Structure 1
């Protein structure tokens, strides 16, 4: 049995709590948040606290907080030589105060409190400075996920960067698509099967081979029609930028 303390109250902390709670070999000693009201709805499931001095001894302390808060919170913990992990994709493991055994427990997924997550399929990227801590981190990850990968700092950082492109930027493109359909009263929902098929294709094909559309075909006539149809200059700029990127990737000349 691995005893855990969760620190933080955001999306990642909430989903980790739910996943750890389900796991047979994990016991959550405490859930800490400086804003106790943010986790008060779970007080019947776990002891919630807002005072660091009340934290009991545990095998692992998981800092599921904002990137900027990791260093400060780790230095405030009233103990030392314990295994402290952060969950960030971009923050160095060395940002954790050196009085602790330091590691990273990075779930490579997008989290919203309202959305259900099946953690069994969420890749957990793990990293540690102290090799003796690796088995504990790996066991913690395997308790909730079937996909556990040991990564180094450089690999984790580029995975996080790539995740911004495939998730955050893609979601912004969905938003722009929604704005475009709304401008003429068309239904955005009609695009949802296309969104699903696009995601499905890259499970079996490389993104390079999966690419279709007017930029890939070098269909200049359609591209010009699209640019003319777009009323928002911001949308035009994004369309042109991505069109040029596709053309460059597939050996087409820019407009």
Structure 2
């Protein structure tokens, strides 16, 4: 049995608490958050506290907070020489306080607290630790909830996180722009749903570079200029131009 503390009450903390709490080989002992209100969703999962100083030692303490406060929160953990990990894709393991055995437990996924479709068994968990024993503990903990657990270092994890920003965050923002355009011209955005699904499917099956289509790849200057005229938002024009140029550079079409 692996005993776990969770520090944080955001999306990652919530889904980790749910996933780990459903296992019979792990137990969530305590959850620490800033306010009683933020801890309310966790009240039936574990003991909870608004004071990190009230945490008691566990096998693994998981810090699931924003990157810019990981170091500060780590320094406030009231016990030494136990395994403390963070869940960040970008932040180096060395950011954690020296008084702890340091590690990383990073689920590579985009989380929303109200997303009930999350299946942790399909989410890669990337782990890192200071020593073999702690690495083994994190691999065991990860294997309880995921079919894919990989050991990678902070540099590799940061590189994967960068790739994930393009694959997820930037792509999702393009979906937002597409929705804005549909709303502006009063056309049904749901008409795009089959296209969105097919684009992802083709990228996975054939590779994204082999699946690229569209006016930028074809070098269709007339269509590109007409579409730029349709865009009224200057930011959207900038994004369109930047992506068009990037596709042009990749495929070598003359514009």
Q: When the two structures are superposed, what TM-score results if normalisation uses the length of structure 2?
A: 0.96
| Corresponding residue of 2:85 | 85
1:151 aligns to 2:152 (yes or no): yes
Within 2, Cα distance between the matches of 1:195 and 1:202? 11
| Corresponding residue of 1:57 | 57
Q: How does 1:41-190 map to 2 (within 5 A)?
A: 41-116=41-116, 117-190=118-191
Deviation at 1:36?
2.4
Q: Is the 8 A contact 1:6 1:28 kept in 2?
A: yes
Within 2, Cα distance between the matches of 1:223 and 1:41? 49
| Corresponding residue of 1:246 | 247
The one-character-per-residue Cα deviations of 1:192-227 (angstroms, maximum 9, x if unpaired) are 111111111122111100111111112222212211
Deviation at 1:17?
0.6
Select between 30-39 and 142-151 the one with higher mean Cα deviation: 30-39
Q: Is the 8 A contact 2:53 2:76 kept in 1?
A: no
- Structure 1, unmatched stretches of 5+, are none
Deviation at 1:120?
0.4
How many pairs does the alignment contain? Answer: 254
Select between 223-232 and 207-216 the one with higher mean Cα deviation: 223-232
Within 1, Cα distance between the matches of 2:4 and 2:45? 14
Within 2, Cα distance between the matches of 1:23 and 1:220? 56
| Corresponding residue of 1:198 | 199
Deviation at 1:98?
0.6
The one-character-per-residue Cα deviations of 1:5-56 (angstroms, maximum 9, x if unpaired) are 0110111101111111112211111111122210213312321111223322
Q: Is the 8 A contact 1:21 1:28 kept in 2?
A: yes
Within 1, Cα distance between the matches of 2:37 and 2:146? 29
Within 2, Cα distance between the matches of 1:44 and 1:184? 47
| Corresponding residue of 2:30 | 30
Q: Is the 8 A contact 1:40 1:48 kept in 2?
A: no
Within 1, Cα distance between the matches of 2:157 and 2:208? 21
Give 4+ residue runs of structure 1 displaced > 3 Å after superposition. Answer: none
Deviation at 1:132?
2.1
Deviation at 1:99?
0.7
Within 2, Cα distance between the matches of 1:230 and 1:41? 42
Within 2, Cα distance between the matches of 1:129 and 1:205? 38
- Structure 2, unmatched stretches of 5+, are none
Partner SS state of residue 3, structure 1: strand
Q: When the two structures are superposed, what TM-score results if normalisation uses the length of structure 1?
A: 0.96
Deviation at 1:188?
0.9
Partner SS state of residue 69, structure 1: helix
